[in-house]
Amino acid sequence: MISDVSIASGASKSLQIDCDELKRLWQQPLRLFRLSNALREKSCGDVVSFVVNRNINFTNICIGTCRFCSFKHQKSFTLTSEQILERAGEAERLGATEICLQGGLAPGMMLEDYCRILETIHRDYPRIHLHAYSPMEVLHMSRNSGVSVRDALLELKKSGLGSLPGTAAEILVDSVRGKICPDKLRVKEWREIITAAHNLGIHTTSTMLFGHIESLDDRLRHLQVLKEIQLETGGFTELVLLPFISDNNNLGRIARSADLLDRLKMHALSRVALYPDITNIQASWTKLGRETAAAAIEWGANDLGGTLMDEAIARNAREAPSISAADLIELIEGRGRKAVQRTTLYERA
Ligand code: SF4
């Protein structure tokens, strides 16, 4: 058994905690809480960061069949270039440093269509970081245009891509994926696309959709995959934990949502399992709600994500009011931490 005291006192730069120990910690919430806090303190001190950004979902038309999806079931829409540009301009006026672009897998959408969206924004707002397209979207555009993933990523980069969201990860275990998102890319493909991006100097986030049908072993396997990639490339900026929301989707008919303690413990467990390789653990206020996200910064998290301004996916599953930078600062400082506005790549904004 590891010594929590030795970790807190700094003897554990290369902490290796095996699966059995992580499972024991899971059963001992108080110990997990203390350890995750000690490791968060060692990695990030008292700083809790956030980014001022805007989500632009450019279409919800999608050939995908993910059972947890409520996004594609609302009224169909596809934004025109003018509408995208208008939203980007609004974001810049409101002080955004990042625009996050994701959409459904619209049939026939080619690589050049994805590039055009980036170029349109980048031409008029070159200072805004474009955080765009999930690994699934990258696969979709590569298939549609008959080019390799690497070539697609190179074209996107030339068009102004700054970084990639590590979404479409859900749970990185194929047997679970077969049940919740049977037509989505497999673990091997997710891994290859993320690694290809990192090798081209394109950073990505990483994510986990948890609290549905997966087991604790599946969550640990997922974290292990992330750790392996990070050790190989160092290209992940953070892990974003996304608790499954059971409203308005097919999976919600058979799957439970994680309860409050489970959600908090998962942030703590991720901190411990990924220490010291992934520094930033993000609590998503859109999925957790403001107060639970703020509580998660006492369970290993050190980031509250973005202001988003317009987040169609979350809004559809559960009303997600917008949040201002001032509100985020208040939440963070209310917990006695130092709030810092960051860029997408975790520099001070
Ligand atoms: S989660 Fe994304 S890929 Fe899956 S069905 Fe919904 S919009 Fe399509």
Question: Residue 322: its pLDDT value, please?
Answer: 73
What's the gap in Å between 70 CA and the centre of ligand 1? 8
What distance lies between CA 49 and its chain's CA centroid?
15
Dihedral pair phi/psi, residue 192, rounded to 5°: -65, -40
Quick one: pLDDT band at residue 74, thresholds 50, 70, 90?
A: confident
Output the CA 69–ligand 1 centroid distance in Å: 6
Residue 63 alpha carbon, nearest atom of ligand 1: 8
pTM for this entry = 0.94
Centre of ligand 1 from the C-alpha of residue 72, in Å = 7
Give the separation between CA 1 and CA 23, rounded to whole angstroms: 12
Answer whether residue 315 shows pLDDT above 50: no
Atom of ligand 1 nearest to the CA of 62: 8
Using CA atoms, how far apart are residues 131 and 152, in angstroms rounded to an integer? 15
* Mean pLDDT value across residues 97-121: 97
Q: At what angle do helices 149-158 and 187-199 cross, to 10 degrees?
A: 40
Which of 72, 185, 207, 248 best tests ligand 1's pocket when mutated (most atoms within 8 Å of CB)? Answer: 72
Where is pLDDT greater, at 64 or 74?
64
Q: How confident is the model at residue 3 (pLDDT cuts 50, 70, 90)?
A: low
Q: Which pLDDT band, with edges at 50, 70 and 90, does 345 fall under?
A: very high
* Mean pLDDT, residues 311-336: 74
Q: Structure tokens of 117?
A: 């969206």
* Ordered structural domains, the chain, with CATH: 44-341 (3.20.20.70)
Q: Which atom of ligand 1 is nearest to the CA of 70?
A: 6
User: How sure is the predictor about 181, in pLDDT bands with cuts at 50, 70 and 90?
Assistant: very high
Residue nearest to atom 6 of ligand 1 (CA): 69
- What is the 60 CA–ligand 1 centroid distance (Å)? 8
Annotate 116-132 with DSSP letters as a single string: HHHHHHHHH-TTSEEEE
How many angstroms is it from 256 CA to the middle of ligand 1? 20
Distance 65 CA to ligand 1 centre (A): 7
What per-residue confidence (pLDDT) applies to 320? 45
CA distance 260 to 257: 9
pLDDT of 247: 87
- Comparing CA positions, the residue from 77, 65, 259, 74 lying closest to residue 170 is 65
Rounded Cα gap, residues 303 and 100, in angstroms: 17
pLDDT value at residue 308: 86
Identify the residues whose C-beta falls under 6 Å from ligand 1: 62, 64, 66, 69, 71-72, 104-105, 136
Nearest C-alpha to atom 1 of ligand 1 is from which residue?
A: 69
Q: How far is the CA of 9 from the centre of ligand 1 (A)?
A: 45
Pocket test for ligand 1, best of 55, 61, 70, 71 (most atoms within 8 A of CB): 71
Atom of ligand 1 nearest to the CA of 181: 4
Tell me the CA–centroid distance for residue 253 and ligand 1, in Å: 18
What's the whole-number mean pLDDT along residues 37-44?
96
| pLDDT tens per residue, range 211-234 | 999 999 999 999 999 999 999 999
Nearest-CA residue for ligand 1 atom 4 is: 66
Q: What is the mean pLDDT of the chain?
A: 93
Centre of ligand 1 from the C-alpha of residue 258, in Å = 21
